[in-house]
């Protein structure tokens, strides 16, 4: 089906160039926007799956995603350019294109090379926390708190650009707290191995749920191993519920103790033992990097992304 759609123009101006992946609700394409006088621009196009196009529940969730993300204007959040329907009635979202790779690929390219550089991992964590802070601190038009919980913070949703940008993507599982009707009883949303233990018991998602998810991401980025993932879904659920986290210093003695403490605080099983906010965790990581002699800004991060892309191409 994907091959048949290559080159198709959606709504007359968005060309489907190459499929990038498919989730439970939609598929994502690398695309081009076509304008006047031969103008083109790279974009990402997310379209609801054909089998769900006429499902009013999923259509409402997709519309909700577009609405929520369009309101989250922040440099570390993938931005929405357009939202529309194609001739078949399928909704689609047009988003900014990030030239680079996701965090999962970035980590994988270090296999056989050496451990991931912890200062850059911490810097990536800081940028993701900026995105989460913006979502968690969102307000409505009247200025009332209207936080958005991502609920699916995982390496595939953290995009690293060749210029050193870090963007959090895919708020498809997010729920604005002013849209409680979007939640269906009994449905656990999010990739199991990145859920927080309280979500498995049906508790309400909070900013601390996203902090736990980022804690998993950082632990895996630093170790190159999966924390809770792998095996039967029931086994994954049991591991998340128990939340037994091997000590980072036992796996990587080179890591500074303050970094390990930050990650383990984010991964605390009890809510009261975690950081109170994404901004608090951000400050802890930023304080650590201020004592590091080497720069960890966009320039070295961008170089690491370009190097990772080169290693990825060389292995194909």
Structural fold of domain 2-96:
Phosphorylase Kinase; domain 1 (3.30.200)
Least confident of 6-15, 275-284, 294-303: 6-15
Question: What pLDDT is attached to residue 183?
Answer: 40
Give the number of other CB atoms < 10 A from CB of residue 256: 15
Comma-separated ranges of CATH 3.30.200.20 domains in the chain: 2-96
Question: What pLDDT is attached to residue 268?
Answer: 97
Q: Which of 8-12, 54-58, 168-172, 214-218: highest mean pLDDT?
A: 214-218
Question: What pLDDT is attached to residue 172?
Answer: 58
Task: Say how far apart CA 130 and CA 296 lie, in whole Å.
Answer: 16
pLDDT-derived band of residue 185, with 50, 70 and 90 as boundaries? very low
Active site (annotated) includes residue 254: no
Comma-separated ranges of CATH 1.10.510.10 domains in the chain: 100-315
The catalytic residue among 152, 178, 254, 307 is 152
Question: What pLDDT is attached to residue 272?
Answer: 96
What would the mean pLDDT of 99-119 be, rounded to a whole number? 96
Least confident of 121-130, 227-236, 290-299: 227-236
Task: Say how far apart CA 167 and CA 305 lie, in whole Å.
Answer: 13
Question: What pLDDT is attached to residue 34?
Answer: 94
Partners of residue 44 on adjacent β-strands:
30, 95
- Summarize pLDDT for 59-82 with one digit per residue, the tens: 777 787 788 788 889 999 999 899
Structural fold of domain 100-315:
Transferase(Phosphotransferase); domain 1 (1.10.510)
pLDDT > 70 fraction of the chain, expressed in percent and rounded: 93
Question: What pLDDT is attached to residue 168?
Answer: 96
Task: Say how far apart CA 195 and CA 209 lie, in whole Å.
Answer: 7
Task: Say how far apart CA 12 and CA 8 lie, in whole Å.
Answer: 9
């Amino acid at each position: 089906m994907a091959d048949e759609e290559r080159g198709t123009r959606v709504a007359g101006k968005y060309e489907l160039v190459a499929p990038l992946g498919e989730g439970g609700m939609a598929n994502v394409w690398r695309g081009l926007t076509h304008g006047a006088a031969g103008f083109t621009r790279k974009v990402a196009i997310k379209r609801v799956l054909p089998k769900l196009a006429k499902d009013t529940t999923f259509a409402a969730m997709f519309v909700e995603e577009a609405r929520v993300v369009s309101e989250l204007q922040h440099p570390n959040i993938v931005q929405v350019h357009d939202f529309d329907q194609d001739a078949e009635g399928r909704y689609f979202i047009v988003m900014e294109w990030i030239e680079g790779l996701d965090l999962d690929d970035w980590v994988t390219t270090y296999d056989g090379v050496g451990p991931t550089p912890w200062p850059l991992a911490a810097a990536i964590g800081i940028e993701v926390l900026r995105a989460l802070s913006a979502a968690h601190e969102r307000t409505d038009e009247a200025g009332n708190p209207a936080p958005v919980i991502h609920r699916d913070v995982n390496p595939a949703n953290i995009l690293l650009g060749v210029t050193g940008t870090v963007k959090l993507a895919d708020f498809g599982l997010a729920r604005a707290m002013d849209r409680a009707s979007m939640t269906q009883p009994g449905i656990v949303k999010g990739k199991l191995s990145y859920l927080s233990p309280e979500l498995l018991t049906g508790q309400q998602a909070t900013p601390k749920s996203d902090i736990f998810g980022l804690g998993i991401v950082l632990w895996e980025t630093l170790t190159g191993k999966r924390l809770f993932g792998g095996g039967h879904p029931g086994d994954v659920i049991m591991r998340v519920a128990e939340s037994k986290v091997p000590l980072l210093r036992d796996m990587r003695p080179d890591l500074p103790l303050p970094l390990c403490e930050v990650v383990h605080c984010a991964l605390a099983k009890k809510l009261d033992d975690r950081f109170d906010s994404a901004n608090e965790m951000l400050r802890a990581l930023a304080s650590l990097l201020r004592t590091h002699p080497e720069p960890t800004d966009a320039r070295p991060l961008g170089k690491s992304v370009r190097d990772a892309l080169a290693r990825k191409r060389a292995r194909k």
